[in-house]
Amino acid sequence: MKTEILKIAKENNITFVRLLFTDVLGTLKNVEIPVTELESAIEDGVMFDGSSIKGFVRISETDMRLKPDLNTWFEFEWEGDEYGKVAALFCDVENPDGTPFEGDPRGILRRNLKEMEKLGFSDFMIGFEPEFYALKLDDNGQPIMSALDGGGYFDLAPIDSGEDLRREIVMQLTRLGFDMEASHHEVGASQHEINFRFQNALDACDSLQIFKLVVKNIAHKHGMQATFMPKPFKGKAGNGMHTNVSLMTADGENAFFDPSGEHQLSPIAYQFMAGIINNARPITAITNPTINSYKRLIPGYEAPCYVAWSPSNRSTFIRIPVARGKGTRMELRSVDPTANAYLALSAILAAGLEGIRNQTKCIEPVTTDLFKLTRIEREELGIINLPDNIYDAVKEFRASDLITTALGAHTTNVFIEAKQKEWEDFKVEVHDWERSVYMKRY
C-alpha cells in the first residue's frame, strides 16, 4: 500500500499532503507536510503539539503522533495550482510510545467496534443524511440571513437556485470516490440534502468529514456560505442528519432482517432498538451537542422530541424505513450535523449492544402523530421526552455509566467541561428577544 500511494503521489503531481484528524468537538484538523516527507510519515508517523488542540493533552504532555491510515488517501481536486496538487490521509492519533490516544474520536469508535465484533457481528453499517442551508454573502463576506430561493421539498430550478451548487458538490464528491445516492432541495428555502450510500461506520464518519469540507468549499466558490447549524432560522425547518444503522452478521447478512418476524424485523433488531430507546436521553448530549440543537427538537418540524419508534411515523425518535433484506435498517431522526459522528456512533452502538446483551424487550411501536398527543397521553404509552436543552442532556450523559464508558474518561471529562462552558456563556448573554419583550414592558 505504501509503494502504491507514493507512486500515485508522484504520478499525480502531489506537492503537499494534509494529515487529517478530528478533535473532541468534531472539528476537522490537519498537519500539512511536503510530499517529500510522505514516506517518512507513513513509516513513522508525524509528531505534533497535542496541547494546541482543544481537549487533547495538557501543556506538560505536548508530543503526540499522527499515524496515517493508508486506506483513506484522496486528493483535493479544487486546490491544485502551479505548485502542484494537495492530497490527504486520515490519521489515528497516538501517544509518543505508539499506543492509541484515548481522546482520539476515531480510536474511540474503533474500540466500540471491537466490542461489537466480540458479539459476533462483522460490521456496523451507516447511512448519514446531512442537511445544510446555502446562504448568499454580503459585500463584507458575511452570510445574509434570508432565503436564497423560494424552493421547497424536491423543487426544481429556477425556484431552486442552489441546483448548480448541489450538482457541483455531487460531481466533486464523485471524483473523490463517493458512491452518491441522491441530492435534492429540502423543506426549507435554501436548504439542501445530499446522500451517499451505506458504508461501514469508520468510513462513513471519514466520508462525512470530507463531505462537510467539500460543501463549505464549493459554496464559498459560488459566493455562498453553507451552514450545518441545526436551527439557523426561527419558524423554518432545521438541519438534521438522520442516521441509518444496521448490523451485519459474520457471514455478511443483515442481522436486523427476519422474513418471519413482526414487521420482518429480527429479535436482534428489537433488542438493539430497545437499547437505544432506553439510553436515548444520555445519548442526546452526543448526538445533539450544541445549545442550538434543542431549538430544532421541538414539535411541528418532523424532528423528534419524544422517545418512540414506528415502522412509518416520522414524528418518532426511530423510524423503520420500508426496505427489507440487506436494506433493513433503523433511522435515528434526532441526530443533527453538529454531532461528532465518531462519538455519536460510539454512543449509539454501545446502547444498542447493551440491548442485545441483556435481550431487552422493546416498547410497542407508535402509529399516532405524537405531536397531537398530550404529555399525559404520551406518558400513558410509556413515551418519554428527549432533553429540552444541552444542560439537561449533559446531566443525563454524565449519569450514564454505559455511555461515558463508551467514550472513555478523558473524552467524557473534556466534553462535559466544554459544554458547561458553552452553557455558562449562553446564560450570561442578553438576547434580542429579551430586549424586544422586556425593555419597554418594564
Residue 80 or residue 66, greater confidence: 66
DSSP string, 209-253: HHHHHHHHHHHHHTTEEEE--S--STTS----EEEEEEEEETTS-
Torsions phi, psi for 62 (to 5 deg):
-75, -40
More confident residue, 197 or 318: 318
When mean pLDDT is compared across 18-32, 81-95, 184-198, 311-325, the lowest value belongs to: 184-198
Least confident of 65-69, 121-125, 224-228, 298-302: 298-302
| CA-based radius of gyration for the chain | 22
Mean pLDDT, residues 395-422 taken together: 96
pLDDT of res. 156: 46
Can you tell me the mean pLDDT for 233-251? Answer: 93
Least confident of 43-47, 184-188, 300-304: 184-188
What H or E segment, with its residue span, contains residue 192?
A: strand 191-196
Give per-residue pLDDT as tens, 97-124: 889 999 999 999 999 999 999 999 999 9
Q: How far apart are CA 276 and CA 86, in angstroms?
A: 41
Q: What is the pLDDT of residue 159?
A: 45
**What pLDDT was estimated at residue 223?**
86
Of residues 301 and 184, the one with the higher pLDDT is 301
Residue 71: per-residue pLDDT: 94
Q: What is the pLDDT of residue 186?
A: 58
How many Å apart are CA 362 and CA 342, to the nearest integer? 26
Could you report the per-residue pLDDT of 160-178, keeping only the tens digit for each? 456 778 888 888 888 888 8
Stretch 402-428: mean pLDDT: 96
Instruction: Say which DSSP state 160 is in.
Output: -
d(CA 241, CA 235): 19
- What is the pLDDT confidence band of residue 368, given thresholds at 50, 70 and 90? confident
The pLDDT of 18-36, averaged and rounded, is 94
Q: Which three cell numbers stand for residue 289?
A: 451537542
Residue 150 pLDDT exceeds 60: no
Q: How confident is residue 53, by pLDDT bands cut at 50, 70 and 90?
A: confident
> Which helix (H) or strand (E) covers residue 21, if one does?
strand 14-22
CB–CB of 19/32 below 8 Å? yes
Q: Which amino acid is at 135?
A: L
Q: Is the pLDDT of residue 285 over 60?
A: yes
153 pLDDT more than 50: no
Mean of pLDDT values over 432-438: 92
Whether the predicted pLDDT of 79 surpasses 70 = no
Q: What is the pTM of this model?
A: 0.92
Q: Quick one: average pLDDT of 189-204?
A: 87
Is the pLDDT confidence value at 147 over 70? no
Residue holding cell 419597554? 440
| One-character DSSP codes across 53-115 | STTS--GGG-EEEEEE-GGG-EEEEEEEETTEEEEEEEEEEE-TTSPBPTT-HHHHHHHHHHH
The distance of Cα 31 from the centroid of its chain, to the nearest Å, equals: 22
Query: Residue 148 has what pLDDT?
Result: 52
Residue 401 predicted with pLDDT over 80 = yes
Length in residues, the chain: 442
Q: Is 28 exposed, middle or buried (0-12, 13-18, 19+ CB in 10 A)?
A: middle
Q: In angstroms, rounded to a whole number, what is the distance separating the alpha carbons of residues 103 and 57?
A: 9
The per-residue pLDDT for 382 is: 79
**Predicted local distance difference test score (pLDDT) of residue 154:** 44
Residue 284 has pLDDT above 80, yes or no: yes
pLDDT over 70 percentage in the chain = 91
CB 287 within 8 A of CB 390: no
**β-strands 199-200, 330-332: how paired?**
unpaired
